[in-house]
Chain A
Amino acid sequence: MDLMNNLALGFGVAFTVQNLFLCFIGCMIGTLVGVLPGVGPVATIAMLLPITFGLDPTGALIMLAGIYYGAQYGGSTTAILVNIPGEATSVVTTLDGHQMAKQGRAGAALGIAALGSFFAGCVATVFIAAMGKPLTKLAQLFGPAEYFSLMVMGLVFSTVLARGSIFKALLMVFLGLLLATVGTDLETGQERMTLGIQQLSDGVDFAPLAMGIFGFAEIIRNLESPEARDVVRGKIGKLMPSWAEIKQSTPPVLRGTFIGGLLGILPGNGAVLGPFASYTIEKKIAKDSSRFGKGAIEGVAGPEAANNAGAQTAFIPLLTLGIPPNAVMALMVGAMTIHGIIPGPQVMTKNPDLFWGMIASMWIGNAMLVIINLPLVGMWVKLLKVPYRLMFPAILIFCCIGIYSINNSVEDVYFTGFFALVGYVLIKLGFEPAPMLLGFVLGKLMEEKLRQALILSRGSFMTFVERPVSGVLLAIAVIMLVVALLPSINKKRDAVFQE
Chain B
Amino acid sequence: MTDTDTPAPERSSAGSYRLTEDIAAGLFLFFVSAFFIWKAWELPLGSLRAMGPGMLPMSISVILGVGGFLLALSAFVKGGNIITMPHVRGLFFILGGIVLFGLCIRSLGLVVAGPVSMIFASFATNEVRPTEAVIFACAMTAFCIILFKYALGLPIPVVAFI
Which residues of A line the B interface, CB within 8 A?
37-38, 50-51, 54, 84-85, 91, 94, 167-168, 170-171, 174-175, 177-178, 181, 185, 187-188, 190, 192-193, 195, 216, 219-228, 387-390, 392-394, 396-398, 400-401, 404-405, 408, 410, 413-414, 416-417, 420-421, 424-425, 428-431, 447, 450-451, 454-455, 458-461
Query: Does chain A have a CB within 8 A of B10?
Result: no
B6 within 8 A of A: yes
Q: Are A417 and B121 in contact (CB under 8 A)?
A: no
- Which chain A residue shows the least CB distance to B24? A429
In the bound complex, what is the Cα–Cα distance between A392 and B128 (angstroms)?
Answer: 11
Compute how far the CA of A223 lies from the CA of B114 in the bound complex, rounded to whole angstroms.
21
Query: 7 A–B contact pairs at CB < 8 A?
Result: A167-B67, A178-B57, A195-B39, A392-B125, A404-B156, A416-B98, A454-B49
Q: Which residues of B contact A413 (CB under 8 A)?
A: 98, 101-102, 105
B14 at interface, CB cutoff 8 A: no
B79 interface residue, CB < 8 Å from A?
A: no
Contact A387 B127 (CB under 8 A): yes
Which residues in A have their C-beta under 8 angstroms from that of B21? 428-430
Q: Are A85 and B2 in contact (CB under 8 A)?
A: yes
Our pick among A393, A424, A455 for the contact of B91 (Cβ within 8 Å) is: A424
Q: Are A389 and B127 in contact (CB under 8 A)?
A: yes
Q: Are B67 and A420 within 8 A (Cβ)?
A: no
Chain B residues closer than 8 Å to A178, beta-carbon distance: 32-33, 36, 57, 60-61, 64
A408 to B21, CA, bound (A): 39
Cβ of B1 < 8 Å from any Cβ of A?
yes
B155, A408: Cβ atoms closer than 8 Å: yes
B12 at the interface (CB under 8 A from A): no
Name B98-115 residues within 8 Å CB distance of A.
98-99, 101-102, 105-106, 110, 113-114
Kindly identify which residue among B57, B124, B133, B152 contacts A51, using a CB–CB cutoff of 8 Å.
B152
Chain B residues within an 8 Å CB radius of A37: 1
CA distance A177 to B60 in the complex (A): 8
Residues from chain B with a CB closer than 8 A to the CB of A394 are: 118, 136, 140
9 nearest A-B residue pairs (beta carbon): A459-B49, A185-B53, A459-B48, A429-B25, A224-B87, A417-B98, A413-B102, A223-B90, A393-B118
B94→A174 contact, CB < 8 A = no
Q: Give the interface centre of A416, A430, A447 by most chain B CB atoms within 10 Å.
A: A430
Contacts of B144 in A (CB 8 A): 397-398, 401
Q: How far is the CA of A461 from the CA of B59 in the complex (A)?
A: 15
Complex Cα gap A187–B114 (Å): 43
- Expressed in whole angstroms, the Cα–Cα distance for A460 and B47 within the complex equals 11
A-side contacts of B77, CB under 8 Å: none
Task: Decide if B124 touches A190 in the complex (CB within 8 Å).
Answer: no
Smallest CB gap from B84: residue in A: A428
- B71 close to chain A: CB less than 8 A: yes
Among B6, B50, B154, the residue within 8 A (CB) of A50 is B154
* List of A residues within 8 angstroms of B22 by Cβ: 168, 430
Q: Within the complex, which residue of A174, A216, A397, A405 is in contact with B117, where a contact is CB–CB below 8 Å?
A: A397
Tell whether A175 pairs with B1 under 8 Å between CB atoms, given A410-B106, A430-B81: no
Q: How far is the CA of A387 from the CA of B48 in the complex (A)?
A: 56
Chain A residues, CB < 8 A from B98: 216, 396, 400, 413-414, 416-417, 420
Contacts of B68 in A (CB 8 A): 171
Cβ of B154 and Cβ of A168 under 8 Å apart?
Answer: no
Chain A residues whose C-beta falls within 8 Å of the C-beta of B121 in the assembled complex: 392-393, 396
Instruction: Please encode chain B, from 120 to 159, with 1 for each CB lying within 8 Å of some chain A CB and 0 for all others.
Output: 0110110111001100110011001000100011111000
Give bound CA distance, A185 to B58, whole Å.
Answer: 13
15 extra interchain contacts, Cβ-Cβ under 8 A, other than A54-B152, A175-B64? A167-B67, A168-B25, A170-B67, A174-B63, A220-B87, A225-B1, A226-B127, A389-B133, A394-B118, A397-B114, A401-B110, A417-B98, A417-B99, A429-B28, A454-B49
Q: Decide if B64 touches A171 in the complex (CB within 8 Å).
A: yes
- Given contacts A392-B124, A393-B118, A404-B156, are A193 and B25 in contact (CB under 8 A)? no
CA gap between A289 and B155 in the complex, in Å? 57
What A residues does B1 contact at CB under 8 A? 37-38, 84-85, 221-222, 225, 227
- Give the one of A54, A404, A459 with max B CB within 10 A: A404
Taking CB atoms, residues of chain A closer than 8 Å to B28 are 425, 429
From the candidates A223, A228, A421, name the one contacting B87 in the complex (CB within 8 A).
A223
- Please determine whether A390 and B71 come into contact, CB atoms closer than 8 angstroms: no
Complex formed: what's the CA distance from A228 to B90 in Å? Answer: 18
Check B43 for interface membership: any CB of A closer than 8 A: yes
Taken together as a complex, chains A and B put the C-alpha atoms of A417 and B92 apart, in Å, by 11
The answer to whether B90 touches A181, judged by C-beta atoms less than 8 angstroms apart, is: no
Chain B residues with CB below 8 A from A193, complex form: 36, 39-40, 57
| List of A residues within 8 angstroms of B49 by Cβ | 454-455, 458-459
Note all chain B residues with C-beta closer than 8 A to A187: 53
**Alpha-carbon distance A84/B113, docked complex (angstroms):** 33
Cβ-defined partner of B122 (8 Å) among A54, A222, A389, A455 = A389
For A194, give the chain B residue with the smallest CB separation: B39
Residues in chain A near residue B84, CB distance under 8 A: 428
A410–B102 touching, CB < 8 Å: yes
Asked if residues B64 and A401 are in contact (CB atoms below 8 Å), the reply is: no
